């Protein structure tokens, strides 16, 4: 059986996909792995570049339409043969031993369902890549800007956790799905990504399912991945803002279904959507 299935979902990723693939092939050693790439109907040269890759265990699939990130990830999981599944964004660069370290950790620790690497920005600074699960309180802090005025406050900044200590390994609630490894057996138990989420909050929901099933999730600081954050979502910013808001509301409907608070959240999301899109149109040039 294959040790790790690396699953990448691409969409108009011609500027990022080759360095990502090369980093995996060059740096993953001493374990067996397959590379599964699901392309969501890219209109650029992404799929052409992918298929020029010289790697025997590469499996590529191109959808006839953009099915969204969640459905594409689930396609990859269904095709996978690995004992562990590494979800990876095309705008990432995997460092030496990162995949092996995550794979070994999951194999050695039966009480953990997933683990994530330490993420870095392109300039080498540590990226904020773990969060607590969102609540109505944390959303209020976002909309009221308290989370931005006091980002390192454990009261107001509790969701995005700007106070988090990234210098040591620790258990976390939700790592970003841009790079996260999950046991295949755990996915078989808790289920794959919920396809009601088009692009966002699928990782939040999946992390919650893993923890609710009694497993833990670990951040491994020795495993390092570089991430060009937002490379995909900024290609269609207005659509992504609207999709984020829809997926956010779906998450709260699923996990915190309170009619009055949901109404408040819906109104707040709509106001924020108008403001964010207006800001983007004003300053995008």
The whole domain housing 182 covers 2-128+164-231
In the chain the first and final C-alpha atoms are separated, in Å, by: 50
Residue partners of 107: CB distance under 8 A and separation at least 6: 83, 84
Q: Please tell me the predicted confidence (pLDDT) of residue 234.
A: 61
Q: What is the CATH number of the domain that holds 63?
A: 3.90.550.10
Q: How many domains does the chain have?
A: 1
What residues does 38 pair with on adjacent strands?
9, 61
45 lies in a domain?
A: yes
Q: Please tell me the predicted confidence (pLDDT) of residue 184.
A: 98
Closest alpha carbon to 101 in 168, 28, 171, 33: 28
63 lies in a domain?
A: yes
145 lies in a domain?
A: no
Cβ neighbours, 10 Å, residue 44: 15
Question: Is residue 219 packed enough to be buried (19+ CB in 10 Å), middle (13-18) or exposed (0-12)?
Answer: buried
261 lies in a domain?
A: no
CA pair distance 61, 115, nearest whole angstrom: 26
Q: Which run of H or E residues covers position 111?
A: none
CA pair distance 1, 131, nearest whole angstrom: 33
Q: Please tell me the predicted confidence (pLDDT) of residue 1.
A: 80
pLDDT tens track of the chain, all 285 residues? 899 999 999 999 999 999 999 999 999 999 999 999 999 999 999 999 998 988 999 999 999 999 999 999 999 999 999 999 999 999 999 999 999 999 999 999 999 999 999 999 989 999 999 999 999 999 999 999 999 999 999 999 999 999 999 999 999 999 999 999 999 999 999 999 999 999 999 999 999 999 999 999 999 999 999 998 765 556 678 889 999 999 999 999 999 999 999 999 999 999 999 999 898 888 775
171 lies in a domain?
A: yes
């Amino acid at each position: 059986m294959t040790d790790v299935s690396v699953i990448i979902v691409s969409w108009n990723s011609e500027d990022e996909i080759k360095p990502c693939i090369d980093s995996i092939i060059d740096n993953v050693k001493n374990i067996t792995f397959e590379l599964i790439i699901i392309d969501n109907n890219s209109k650029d040269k992404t799929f052409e570049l992918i298929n020029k890759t010289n790697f025997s265990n590469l499996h590529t699939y191109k959808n006839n339409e953009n099915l969204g990130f969640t459905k594409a990830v689930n396609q990859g999981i269904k095709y996978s043969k690995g004992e562990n599944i590494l979800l990876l964004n095309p705008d990432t660069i995997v460092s030496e031993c990162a995949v092996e370290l995550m794979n070994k950790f999951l194999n050695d620790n039966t009480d953990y369902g997933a683990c994530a690497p330490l993420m870095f920005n392109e300039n080498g600074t540590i990226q904020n890549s773990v969060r607590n699960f969102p609540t109505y309180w944390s959303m209020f802090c976002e909309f009221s800007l308290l989370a931005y005025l006091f980002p390192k406050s454990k009261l107001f900044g509790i969701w995005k956790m700007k106070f988090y200590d990234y210098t040591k390994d620790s258990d976390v609630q939700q790592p970003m799905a841009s790079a996260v490894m999950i046991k295949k057996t755990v996915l078989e138990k808790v289920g794959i990504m919920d396809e009601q989420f088009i692009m966002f909050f699928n990782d939040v929901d999946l992390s919650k399912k893993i923890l609710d099933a009694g497993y833990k999730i670990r951040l491994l600081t020795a495993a390092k991945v570089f991430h060009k954050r937002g490379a995909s979502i900024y290609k269609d910013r207005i659509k992504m803002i609207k999709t984020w808001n829809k997926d956010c509301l779906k998450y709260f409907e699923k996990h915190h279904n309170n009619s009055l608070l949901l109404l408040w959240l819906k109104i707040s999301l709509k106001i924020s959507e108008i403001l964010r899109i207006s800001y983007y149109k004003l300053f995008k040039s």
